[in-house]
Structure 1
Amino acid sequence: MTPAARLSAAIELIDTIERDRVPAAKALKEWGTAHRFAGSGDRAAIAGLVWDVLRRYASSAYLMDSDTARARLIGMLRLERNMDSATMAALFDGSRFAPAPLTEAEQAALATRSLNNAPAAIAGDYPEWLDPYLAKAFGEDRVAEAVAMASRAPLDLRVNTLKSNRDKMLKALAHLHAKPTHWSATGLRVELSADARNPGLQAEEDFIKGAVEVQDEGSQLAALFTAAKPGEQVIDLCAGAGGKTLALAAMMQGKGRLIATDSDKRQLVPIHERLSRAGVHNADVRTPKGDTDPLADIRASADLVVIDAPCTGTGTWRRNPDAKWRMRPGALEIRLKDQVEVLERAVPLVQAGGRIAYITCSVLSEENGEQVRAFVERHPDFSVVPPEQTASVLWDKTEEFSQAARQSDEGWLMTPRRTGTDGFFVSVLKKAS
C-alpha cells in the first residue's frame, strides 16, 4: 500500500470506531481480516495512524475546527507528526486510493489555527469531565502531564533474574536495539517509532525460555518498592495475568511462599503458563471457586500483601489511548469501592510487623493518596512507610528519583512526564508490631 492509501484506510477505521463505538483494537483486527492483501508493514503503519489520532483526538479536531475522522487525521499529522502542509498536500492528492485533496478550509485551518488558547482538556487530550480531577492531581501542570500521557509508550522488558541477567539480555536482544532502562536495574527498553511493527517478542528464544517478560518500567519499580524478600510469605491479592507475581518471585529468589489469587478467575488464566516458563517453583495460584474464600486458611501470617488495585487506568493512557475516551464518570466511583473492598480484604491476612503494598496505575488523587489516608484512618494500627525508605531499593538513584517522581506523605506517583514510565502510584503500609 502507498502512504496515501494507508491514510485513507486510517480515516475509514477512525470513522468505524466513532460510528460503531467499537474498541480500536477490535476495529483494527477486523480490518486486517477483511483486507488480507495488506502486509504486516501496512497494518502496523495504519495502526500507528489510528492510535495517534486517538492520542490527539480532541486537539486535532480543535485545530481543524471539525470533528470528522478526516479532520482528526489531518490535525494529528500536524500536531503529533509535525507534517507540513506541502507534504500533506502531496499525500492528499485525490489519486487512486488516496484521500481527496485538502480543501480551502483545511488549508486555512492548518495555516492559522493553533492550540494556544485551547481549554486544558483539549490541549491535554482528555475528556472534559476529568479536568477537575487532573487539576487536583497536577494543578497547572495538568496539560503537560496529559500530553506526556498521550505520547506513544516504548516496549519495556524485565529480565528474569531467576534465569538470566541484564548484561546477557542486552547482548541477546541487541537486534531489537534494546537499551537499559533508567531506573530499574533489571529493565530493558525498546523505543518504537510511530509506524514501527511489533518486534514479535513472543518469537524470541529468550522470551520462550522465560528469560524476559514484557513489563513497563513503572510496574517494575512498583514491585521493587514492595521490598519482597527471600523467605517471606507474600500474597499477590490482585494477581491477574501475573506480571507483578513474576517480578515478586524473582525478588524472592525462589525462597519463601508466594500465593497468587484474583477475585476474577478469568484474569488468572495466563498465569500458570507464565510461572512455568519463568521457572518459578514457590508460587501457589489459588483460583476462586464459587463463594469459597481461596485464602480462608491464612490469618495474620503474611509478611507482605501486594494489592495491584483495580483502578481507572489513567496512568496507562499512552498504551490504551482509546480507553480514556470510553471512560465514563461512574467508572471512578465503582473503582473507589473496589479499592476499599480489596484493602479491607488484605487487613486480616497481615501479621504484626507485616506490610501492605497498595499500587494503582492511576494518577488520580482519589484513587491514590486519598484512598491511603482513608485506610489509615480506618486502621490506625497501620502507618505509611516513608516514601524515601521505599525508594531506597534504587540505591545510587534514590535521590534522582526523589527529584523526578511526585512524593507525598502517602507514597510515590510516577508519570510519563516525570519518570518516563507509565503512571503508577505506590504506597507501602506497615502494621504495628
Structure 2
Amino acid sequence: MTPAARLSAAIELIDTIERDRVPAAKALKEWGTAHRFAGSGDRAAIAGLVWDVLRRYASSAYLMDADTGRARLIGMLRLERDMDTATMAALFDGSRFAPTPLTEAEEAALSHRSLKDAPAAVAGDYPEWLDPHFAKVFGDTRAAETAAMASRAPLDLRVNTLKSNRDKVLKALAHLHAKPTHWSATGLRIELSADARNPGVQAEEDFIKGAIEVQDEGSQLAAQFAAAKPGEQVIDLCAGAGGKTLALAALMQGKGRLIATDRDKRQLAPIHERLSRAGVHNADIRTPKGEADPLSDIRSSADLVVIDAPCSGTGTWRRNPDAKWRMRPGALEIRLRDQAEVLERAVPLVKPGGRIAYITCSVLSDENGEQVRAFVGRHPEFTVVPPEQTASVLWDKAEAFADAALQSAEGWLMTPRRTGTDGFFVSVLRKA
C-alpha cells in the first residue's frame, strides 16, 4: 500500500470506530481480516495512524474545526507528527486509493488555527468530565501534563539482575539502539518515532532466556520504592501477570519468601511461565479457588505487602489512548471501592513494623493521596513513610527525582511530563 492509501484506510477505520462505537483494537483486527492483501508493515502503519488520532482525538478536531475522521487525521498529522501542509497536500492528491485533495477550509485551518485558546480538556485531549480531577492535581498546568500523557510512549525494559546486568544487555541490544533509563538502574529505553513499529523484543535471546522484561520505568521505580529486601516475607496482593512480582523477586535476590496472588485468577495465567523464565525460585503463587481465602494461613507475618491497585489507568494513556475516551464516571467510583477493599485485605497480613506499598498507575488524587489519607484515618496504626526516604533507593539521583516528580505528604506522583515515565503514584505505609 502507498502512504496515501494507508491514510485512506485510517480515515475509514476512524469513522467506523466513531460510528459503531467499537474498541479500536477490535476495529483494526476486523479490518486486517477483511483486507488480507495488506502486509504486516501496512497494518502496523495504519494502526499507528489510528492510535495517534485517538491520542489527539479532541485537539485535532478543534484544530480543524470539524469532527469527522478525515478532519481528525489531518489535525493529528499536524499536531502529533508535525507534518507541514505541503507534505499533506502531496499525500491528499485524489489519486487512486488516496484521500481527496485538501479543501480551502482545511488549508485555512492548518494555516490559521491553533490550540492557543483551546480549553484544557481539548488541548490535553481528555474527556471534559475529568477536568475538575486534573485541575485538583495539576492546576493551571493540567493541559501541558495531559498533552504529555497523549504522546506515544517509548519501549522500556527491565534488566533481570538474577540473570544478567545492564552493561551486558546494552551490548546485546545495541542493534535496537537501547539506552539506559534516566532513573532506574536496571532500566533500558528504546525510543520510538511516531510511525515506528515496536521492535520484536520477545524474539531477542536475552528475553527468551529471562534476562529482560518489558516494564515501564515508572513501574520499575514503584517496585524499587517498595524496597523489598532479601530474606523478607513479601506478598504481591494484586500480582496480575507478574510484572512487579518479577521486579520484587530480583530485589530479594532469590532469598526470602515471595507470595503472589490476585482476586482474578485469569490475570495470573502468564505468571508461572514468566517466573520460570526469569529464574525465580522463591515465589509461591496462590491461585484463588472458589470463596476460600488463598492467604488464610498468613496473619501479621508479612514484612511487605505490595498493592498494585486496580485503578482508572489514567497514567497509562500513552499506551492505551482508546481507554480514556471509553472511561466513565461510574467506573472511577467502582475503582475507588476496589482500592479501599484491597487496602483492608492487606491490614491483617502485615506484621508490626511491616509495610504496605500502595501503587496505582493513575494520576488522579481520588485514587492516590485521598485514598491513602482515608486509609490512615481508618487505621491510625499505619503512618506514611516520608517520600524522601522511599526515594533514597535512587542514591545520587534522589535529589533530582525530588525536583522532577510531584511530592505530597502521602507519596510520589510520576508523570510523562515530569519524569518521562508513565503516570504512577507510590505510597509506603509502615505499621507501628
TM-score by length of 1: 0.99
In 2, the alpha carbon distance for the partners of 1:323 and 1:287 equals: 28
Match runs of 1:35-46 below 5 Å: 35-46=35-46
In 2, the alpha carbon distance for the partners of 1:166 and 1:346 equals: 34
- 1:32 lines up with 2:32 in the alignment: yes
In 2, the alpha carbon distance for the partners of 1:78 and 1:188 equals: 30
Aligned twin of 1:291: 291
- Deviation at residue 231 of structure 1 after TM alignment: 0.4
In 2, the alpha carbon distance for the partners of 1:12 and 1:149 equals: 26
In 1, the alpha carbon distance for the partners of 2:36 and 2:255 equals: 49
1:158-215 alpha-carbon deviations (Å, 9 max, x no partner): 0000000000000011111100000000000001111111211111111011000000
- Deviation at residue 39 of structure 1 after TM alignment: 1.9
* 2:150 partner letter: A
In 1, the alpha carbon distance for the partners of 2:189 and 2:357 equals: 25
Aligned twin of 1:126: 126
SS of 2:82 mapped into structure 1: coil
Aligned twin of 1:170: 170
Aligned twin of 2:115: 115
In 1, the alpha carbon distance for the partners of 2:357 and 2:249 equals: 15
SS of 1:365 mapped into structure 2: coil
Aligned twin of 1:154: 154
* 1:113 partner letter: R
In 1, the alpha carbon distance for the partners of 2:286 and 2:8 equals: 49
Whether the aligned pair in 2 keeps the contact of 1:300 and 1:352 (CA below 8 Å) is: yes
- Deviation at residue 74 of structure 1 after TM alignment: 0.5
Aligned twin of 2:139: 139
Q: Which runs of 5+ in 2 are unaligned?
A: none
Match runs of 1:270-419 below 5 Å: 270-419=270-419
SS of 1:235 mapped into structure 2: strand
- Deviation at residue 25 of structure 1 after TM alignment: 1.7
In 1, the alpha carbon distance for the partners of 2:51 and 2:45 equals: 10
- 1:68 lines up with 2:68 in the alignment: yes
In 2, the alpha carbon distance for the partners of 1:181 and 1:363 equals: 21
- 1:3 lines up with 2:7 in the alignment: no
- Deviation at residue 83 of structure 1 after TM alignment: 1.2
In 1, the alpha carbon distance for the partners of 2:111 and 2:100 equals: 19
Whether the aligned pair in 2 keeps the contact of 1:46 and 1:195 (CA below 8 Å) is: no
Aligned twin of 1:224: 224
* 1:307 partner letter: I
Aligned twin of 1:103: 103
Match runs of 1:233-244 below 5 Å: 233-244=233-244
- Deviation at residue 40 of structure 1 after TM alignment: 2.1
1:112-137 alpha-carbon deviations (Å, 9 max, x no partner): 21111111101110000000000001
SS of 2:288 mapped into structure 1: coil
Is 398-407 or 104-113 further displaced after alignment? Answer: 104-113
In 2, the alpha carbon distance for the partners of 1:212 and 1:30 equals: 32
Aligned twin of 2:264: 264
SS of 1:343 mapped into structure 2: helix
Whether the aligned pair in 2 keeps the contact of 1:40 and 1:197 (CA below 8 Å) is: no
1:392-413 alpha-carbon deviations (Å, 9 max, x no partner): 0001100000000000000000
1:259-286 alpha-carbon deviations (Å, 9 max, x no partner): 0000111100000110011010000000
Q: Which runs of 5+ in 1 are unaligned?
A: none
Whether the aligned pair in 2 keeps the contact of 1:237 and 1:262 (CA below 8 Å) is: yes
SS of 1:268 mapped into structure 2: coil
SS of 2:267 mapped into structure 1: helix
- Deviation at residue 11 of structure 1 after TM alignment: 0.5
* 1:223 partner letter: A
How many percent identity over aligned positions? 89
Whether the aligned pair in 2 keeps the contact of 1:47 and 1:195 (CA below 8 Å) is: no
SS of 2:195 mapped into structure 1: coil
SS of 1:51 mapped into structure 2: helix
In 2, the alpha carbon distance for the partners of 1:254 and 1:20 equals: 50
1:60-80 alpha-carbon deviations (Å, 9 max, x no partner): 001111100001001111111
TM-score by length of 2: 0.99
Whether the aligned pair in 2 keeps the contact of 1:404 and 1:418 (CA below 8 Å) is: yes
SS of 2:101 mapped into structure 1: coil
1:205-233 alpha-carbon deviations (Å, 9 max, x no partner): 11011000000000000000001000000
RMSD: 0.7
SS of 1:8 mapped into structure 2: helix
- Deviation at residue 33 of structure 1 after TM alignment: 2.3
Whether the aligned pair in 2 keeps the contact of 1:234 and 1:302 (CA below 8 Å) is: yes
- Deviation at residue 339 of structure 1 after TM alignment: 0.2
- 1:254 lines up with 2:254 in the alignment: yes
Is 232-241 or 11-20 further displaced after alignment? Answer: 11-20
Whether the aligned pair in 2 keeps the contact of 1:181 and 1:217 (CA below 8 Å) is: yes
Whether the aligned pair in 2 keeps the contact of 1:220 and 1:244 (CA below 8 Å) is: yes
In 2, the alpha carbon distance for the partners of 1:205 and 1:34 equals: 34
* 1:86 partner letter: A
Aligned twin of 2:48: 48
Whether the aligned pair in 2 keeps the contact of 1:233 and 1:258 (CA below 8 Å) is: yes
- Deviation at residue 36 of structure 1 after TM alignment: 2.3
Is 366-375 or 193-202 further displaced after alignment? Answer: 193-202
In 1, the alpha carbon distance for the partners of 2:204 and 2:318 equals: 25
Match runs of 1:192-207 below 5 Å: 192-207=192-207
In 2, the alpha carbon distance for the partners of 1:21 and 1:255 equals: 49
In 2, the alpha carbon distance for the partners of 1:176 and 1:39 equals: 22
In 2, the alpha carbon distance for the partners of 1:21 and 1:208 equals: 38
Aligned twin of 2:81: 81
SS of 2:164 mapped into structure 1: coil
In 2, the alpha carbon distance for the partners of 1:370 and 1:175 equals: 45
